[in-house]
Amino acid sequence: MRRRLPLAAFVVLLGLGPLVLPEYHVTLLNYAGLSAIVALGLVLLTGVGGLTSFGQAAFVGLGAYTTAWLTTRHGVSPWLTLPIGLLLTAAVALAIGLITLRMGGHYLPLATIAWGISFYFLFGNAEQLGGHTGISNIPALSLLGWELRSGRALYYLVWLVVLLAVAGLGNLLDSREGRALRALRGGAVMAESCGVDTPRAKAIAFLLAALLASTSGWLYAHLQRFVNPSPFSLNQGIEYLFMAVVGGAGHAWGAVLGAGLVTLLKAWLQDLLPRLLGQSGSFETIVFGVAMVVILQLARGGLWPLLLAPGPERARRRGLAPAGLLPRRPASVPGTVLLEASGVTKRFGGLLANDGMSLTVRAGEVLALIGPNGAGKSTLFDCLSAVSPPTSGTIRFRGEPTAAMAARQLARRGMGRTFQHVRLLGRMSVLENVAIGAHARGRRGVVAAALRLDRAEERLLLAEAAHQLERVGLSAHLFDDAGSLSLGQQRLVEIARALASDPWLLLLDEPAAGLRHQEKQALAALLRRLRAEGMGILLVEHDVEFVMELADRVVVMDFGAAIAEGRPDVVQRDPRVLEAYLGGAVGA
């Protein structure tokens, strides 16, 4: 309850604002609210998704111009122009996203710069849209016969939208789709291997940010009752990003703080600087530019985290409500071929990392892949799990060729994997990390999450994650930050995450590294149990004792090729294996 107190105080103050403040300050607060809506979108895009856009002002403009044109020229009701503007914005955002989001992260912001400039020139030159003069006489909004003519009247609508956006964003981030969005920053490869469609997640973040901007534009047009292209220029787009960066791009309230600060600062500087410098012009850009660099250097998380006492932001240690079980895949019949690789070759430039590797994994068996460091085991793992496709050779998973598949498609078909270099989201709880593994087993989307209609499914997903964590012996750490665990425990979290996807085949890359003896014993027992349930397991491991006790068959790799294959006790005596491990003793 104590956590709610500042929020309640803020809302009360907001509500009292227009009753006591002079007109000028109400206007400023309106603009701060409108900007906060845009900046909230950037929190999702930049702070959460690790992408950014300099073209948000153009989306604001799209929303504003849509309603301006339709209401003044065609007499359409403003309540209809809002969804029309949102649809139009969605179309543009999806087109830009489609073109840029599959590439490196910097192509989106570059494309949004081009979009921002094009929008400005396009609308400034379009006769039907009033050119640079713009469109005036936009009707006021009316609600149940009550006209929102004044800034004071519209104030409540603006800030209601802000508060709803903050709440919706918070709900979204605490959900299945939200976890996928939070994985975009620094966890894209991992998320893909859990069945998350990362280009789609990026598109969702960009789309939502654009829609928020468009909504802000619609409000702007009916507040100002006049639009022209200049408030939608690239500079304004940069300013929105500045608000998010100043306030704290990782936090919804950071956006509100940043929007408020920057709006006030801008009004003050626009008054002060020209007088100080003795010429007119928008010199506040100098201050903003320098301030943005300084903040990025000294407080990259923005000001909001500095205001909050350090500590967990969310009441993380929530009770796990009792929930039923997620539906499972039917177990495979022991002995059926799950994975079949033949002639897999992988080249990196002149380096031949895998040279014609072939192997088969069946349901209900543990196949161990061993070999000296640099033999190409992890490369083969990446080929098999479609993280990086082989140069040549064929791989079939349950009879289906995987050549054209992305890692997420394989994951959704029942292949789970862990990584040699642990890929967890360190600042997310262990439970949530594992819940990403179950991503493909849920289907509630963004809207359901924002409106909290996803809770039944969310309980199932979290219960599944908790169950898998119990299996690997980490029940005591559900709510710890994943980054706070020891390396060995982090490996176990990765196994739990892979298991949460209910896989037919499990690919484990050095699962026992960093584990203590007892933990290894427990892991071996777990893997035996999984094998008995019919799961196929492909294991890369350096701990020979662990491998020999557990594996049904062993494949030994050296210099990218298989040099021996067979039962553990046979392989162990193979002279080629001894040579690979103990050095070139044969000639000596």
Partner 1 sequence: MDSQILLLLGQDGVTNGAIYALLALALVLVFSATRIIFIPQGEFVAYGALTLAGLQAGQVPGTLWLLLALGAGVAVLDGVRLVGDRRFTALPRLVLLRVGLPLLLAALLRAAPAAQWPQALQVLLTMAIVVPLGPLLYRLAYQPLAGASVLVLLIVSVALHLALVGLGLLFFGAEGSRTPPFTEASLTVAGAPLQGQAILVVVASALLMAALYLFFERSIHGKALRATTMNRTGARLMGIRPASSGQLSLTLAAAIGAASGVLIAPLTTIYYDTGFMIGLKGFVGAIVGGLGSYPVAALGAVLVGLLEAYSSFHASAYKEVIVFTLIIPVLLWRSLTSRTVEEEEE
d(CA 55, CA 76): 27
Q: Which residues pair with 509 in a beta bridge?
A: 540
Nearest distance in Å: CB 512, partner 1: 25
- Sort strands 135-136 and 226-227 into parallel, antiparallel or unpaired: antiparallel
Instruction: Report the residue count for the chain.
Output: 588
Q: Are 96 and 112 in contact (CB under 8 A)?
A: yes
Distance CA 169, CA 43 (A): 9
Q: Is 128 in the site for partner 1 (CB under 8 A)?
A: no
CB closer to partner 1 out of 273 and 431: 273
Q: Is 355 helix (H, G, I), strand (E, B) or coil?
A: strand
Looking at beta carbons only, is 172 or 245 nearer to partner 1?
A: 245
Q: Least separation, in Å, of the C-beta of 543 and partner 1? A: 28
Q: Six-digit token pair at 511?
A: 């699962």
Backbone angles phi, psi at 405, to 5 degrees: -90, 145
CA distance 125 to 34: 26
What is the smallest separation between the CB atom of 412 and partner 1, expressed in angstroms? Answer: 15
Q: Give 111-134 as a DSSP string.
A: HHHHHHHHHHHHHHH-GGGTTTT-
Regarding 94 and contact with partner 1 (CB under 8 A), the answer is no
> Looking at beta carbons only, is 20 or 298 nearer to partner 1?
298
Tokens 């600042």 identify what position?
427
Is residue 110 near partner 1 by the rule CB under 8 A? yes
Residue 306 found at the interface with partner 1 (CB under 8 A): no
CB of 431 to partner 1, least distance (A): 22
Taking CB under 8 A as the criterion, the residue among 90, 92, 117, 261 binding partner 1 is: 117
Residue 97 CB, shortest distance to partner 1, in Å, is: 10
CB 199 within 8 A of CB 101: yes
Question: Which 26-65 positions form the footprint of partner 1 (CB under 8 A)?
Answer: 46, 50-52, 54
Per CB under 8 A, 286 contacts partner 1: yes
Alpha helix (H) ranges present in 194-251?
198-224, 234-247
288 vs 304, which CB is nearer to partner 1? 288
Based on the shown chain and the rule CB under 8 A, indicate whether residue 548 belongs to the binding site for partner 1: no
Residue 388 near residue 382 (C-beta atoms within 8 A): yes
Only segment of 86-94, 107-115, 135-143, 307-315 that touches partner 1 (CB under 8 A): 107-115
Residues 6 or more apart in contact with residue 468 via CB below 8 angstroms: 434, 437, 496, 497, 499, 500
Does 102 engage in binding with partner 1 (CB under 8 A)? yes
The sign of the torsion formed by the CA atoms of 164, 168, 169, 174 equals positive
524 in contact with partner 1 (CB under 8 A)? no
Give the residue with the Cβ less far from partner 1, 328 or 421. Answer: 421
283 binds partner 1 (CB under 8 A): yes
> Does 99 interact with partner 1 (rule: CB under 8 A)?
yes
Q: Does 300 bind partner 1 (CB under 8 A)?
A: yes
**8 A C-beta contact, residue 172 and residue 450:** yes
Q: Does 125 bind partner 1 (CB under 8 A)?
A: yes
To partner 1, the closest distance from the beta carbon of 241 in angstroms equals 7
254 binds partner 1 (CB under 8 A): no
Alpha-carbon separation of residue 317 from 77, 374, 431, 461, 468 (angstroms): 47, 42, 10, 16, 18
Give the footprint of partner 1 on residues 228-247 (CB under 8 A). 235, 238, 241-242, 245
User: Considering beta carbons, is residue 297 or 373 the nearer one to partner 1?
Assistant: 297
Residue from 293, 321, 403, 487 in contact with partner 1 (CB under 8 A): 293
Q: How many CA atoms lie within 13 A of 229 on its CB side?
A: 19
Sole binder of partner 1 in the list 118, 475, 484, 521 (CB under 8 A)? 118
Q: How far is the CB of 469 from partner 1 (least distance, A)?
A: 25
400 near 584, Cβ under 8 Å?
A: no
> CA–CA separation, 115 vs 449, rounded Å?
30
Cα 376 to Cα 354: distance, rounded to the nearest angstrom? 6
- With CB under 8 A as the contact rule, the residue among 188, 262, 357, 577 that binds partner 1 is 188
Nearer residue to partner 1 within complex by CB, 282 or 484: 282
Output the smallest distance, CB 286 to partner 1, in A: 4
Selected binder of partner 1 within 21, 88, 92, 122 (CB under 8 A) = 122
Bridge partners for 226 per DSSP: 136
406 in contact with partner 1 (CB under 8 A): yes
3-state secondary structure of 502: coil
CA-CA distance, 491 to 486, in Å (whole number)?
Answer: 9
According to CB under 8 A, which one of 152, 185, 347, 459 is a site residue for partner 1? Answer: 185
Distances (CA, A) of 225 to 65, 69, 82: 11, 11, 15
Between 54 and 304, name the residue whose CB sits nearer to partner 1: 54
By CB under 8 A, name the one of 387, 460, 466, 557 that touches partner 1. 387
Least Cβ distance, residue 107 to partner 1 (angstroms): 6
What are the residues binding partner 1 (CB under 8 A)? 46, 50-52, 54, 98-107, 109-111, 113-115, 117-118, 121-122, 125, 184-186, 188-189, 192, 198, 235, 238, 241-242, 245, 277, 279, 281-286, 288-290, 292-293, 296-297, 300, 387-389, 406-407
